[in-house]
Each structure stands twice: as C-alpha cells, then as structure tokens.
Amino acid sequence: MFRTVVDVPRMDFLVQPCEKMLLVGSCFADHIGQCLRREAFPVTVNPYGVMYNPVSVRHTIEKTDFDGRIVFITLGTNHVYVLKETGEVVDNCQKRPQSLFQETALDVDECYASLAWTVKLLRERRPDVKVVVTVSPIRYAKYGYHGSALSKATLLLAADRLVKAFPQQVSYFPAYEIVNDELRDYRFYTPDMLHPSQQAVEYIWQRLVECCFSEEAKQYMDEWQPLREALGHRPFDAESEAYQSFRAATLEKVRLMQKKYPAMQIDFETKE
C-alpha cells in the first residue's frame, strides 16, 4: 500500500433514500450539495450564498426555515469582516468600500460559541436533528500558508469541542484529513494547487456515502444511476425516431421511480 487511509467511523445515524437535508458553509458544501442534487435528493444548499466562518453559518441557519433531520456544516475559515460602524460581523460586504470593514480572526471560544448556538437552535426546531460538521480542505493562500494552517487548526479545535459537547446531535466528518493525509498528491488538486479536483471531491463523496448512508439509500442511488445517465445522454440526432423512443422509455422509468420515491427532486429537464 502506497498511501495512508483515514479512518471514517460509521455515523450513529443513517441517511434514508431522498431524505431532505440542509448544507451550509464554504464552497466545499456546494460541492457535496451538487453530489446530492445529482442523486435527486431534496437538498437546500447555502440559501443565502457561500458562508465561510462559524458566525455567518449561524446567521444563515437563523434565517433558514428548515425542518429536516440532517444538517451539514462546512467551515472554511475563522476570519470575519466586521462593520466598523456597528461592530457586527457581516456575511457579505455587498461591494461596499473596504474601508468600512475590519478583518479579524475568531478564536476557538468564539467559533465554538457560534456553532453551539447553531446546534441549540436546530435542536429546538427538531429534537432529533443530526448535524455533520466538517472543515474544508481548501487552503487560503491570501493568509499565507502558516496563517491558513492556524485558521484551520482553530476550526478543528472548535469542531472537536462541539462534537464532545453535543455527542447525541453532532458528528465530525474528516474531509480535511482525507485530502491532506490520504490524497496527498497534487494530482488531486485543480490547477491552482489549492482546491480539490473533481476526482478528489468524488472520492470524499464516496467516503461520506460509506459512513452515513443507509443500505436503502445506496440501493436507491444504484437504481437511479442508469436513469440519470440516460437522461444526461447527448444524442447525435435528437429528432431521430430511435432517440425519441429511447427518451420516452427512459422518462417512463423515471415516472415509475418517482412513484416509488416521491421525494425525488430532479433538477434537470425530464419532460417530453
């Protein structure tokens, strides 16, 4: 064996077929959200835009009316922008002059406090809520690599404290460790050498499925895969009789599957 493999324990809950989920956080949350949408899960992903720090994640969840059982939180940085006039952390500078804001870094206690408030709010809304917290593996070159490592370390410490404080509600998924300790080759990065490649994202997705998806959910995705691929097929001649027949047969299979799994949410066009 020429690599180390990060141990990912089985979660104490299992995602069911087409279960509703909320994903909030950095662009890595968007990547996993895209994987779930591809599998026709009814997911809500960053409804107020990408949020990188624990305070902005909290703000999003406070504003989002979500009553599902499963929430994914992906933390990107502990750096925040504070509006000088009010002292409040802003989630988006809205193209206002940089002079109006001050960039600062949250410490472990401040990160944990926002995350704990978020979990308590979710638990009030739904007592059986399950929160999966991850730290994005994407480095922030603008902080310098030492500064980026310190930022990630702060988030990792806050996430660890959160899991220990809410063991019945919160689980940690080691996306950061998988990229940095298992996929250590630059071939798993995009050309900027900072962001995980699509191959790396797909590998992390498979590890996530292994640890927290039920056998029923895996069976559902196995059923959906050939239909998804058929719907995405680009024909040489879309008007040909052979393709129209193939398309009609595929759509009928999709309709039958939707009867079996009514919560399916297909984002791309499936109408005749």
pLDDT in tens, 104-129: 999 999 999 999 999 999 999 999 99
Average pLDDT over residues 209-221: 97
pLDDT tens for 69-87 read: 999 999 999 999 999 999 9
pLDDT score recorded for residue 270: 40
The answer to whether residue 21 scores a pLDDT higher than 50 is yes
More confident residue, 92 or 42: 42
Check whether 269 has a pLDDT greater than 60: no
Distance from C-alpha of 167 to C-alpha of 130, rounded to nearest angstrom: 10
Report, in angstroms and rounded to the nearest whole number, the Rg of the chain calculated over CA atoms. 21
Mean pLDDT score of the chain, rounded to an integer? 93
Residue 268: pLDDT band (50, 70, 90) is: low
State yes or no: pLDDT of 198 exceeds 50: yes
User: Reduced to 3 states, what is the DSSP secondary structure of residue 271?
Assistant: coil
Burial class (CB in 10 A: 0-12, 13-18, 19+), 256: exposed
**pTM, full prediction:** 0.92
Closest to 114 measured CA to CA, from 93, 88, 136, 139: 88
Q: Which of 234, 227, 229, 233 is nearest to 258 (CA)?
A: 227
Paired tokens of 133: 């917290």
pLDDT at 215 over 90: yes
- CA-based nearest residue to 23, from 35, 14, 7: 35
CA distance 14 to 126: 17
Residues 6+ apart with CB under 8 A from 174: 6, 8, 134
**In this predicted structure, what is the pLDDT of residue 185?**
87
Comparing CA positions, the residue from 138, 111, 118 lying closest to residue 204 is 138
Among the ranges given (39-43, 190-194, 252-256), the one the predictor scored with the smallest mean pLDDT: 190-194
pLDDT in tens, 88-110: 999 988 889 989 999 999 999 99
* Residue-level pLDDT at 272: 39
Span of 44-58, 165-179, 228-242 with lowest mean pLDDT: 228-242
Cα separation, 66 vs 142, in Å, equals 34
> pLDDT tier at 267 (50, 70, 90 boundaries)?
low
Greatest C-alpha distance within the chain: 66
Q: What percent of the chain has pLDDT over 90?
A: 82
pLDDT band at 64 (very low <50, low <70, confident <90, very high): very high
Listed in order, strand segments (DSSP E) in 37-195 are: 43-45, 70-75, 79-83, 88-90, 101-105, 130-135, 170-172
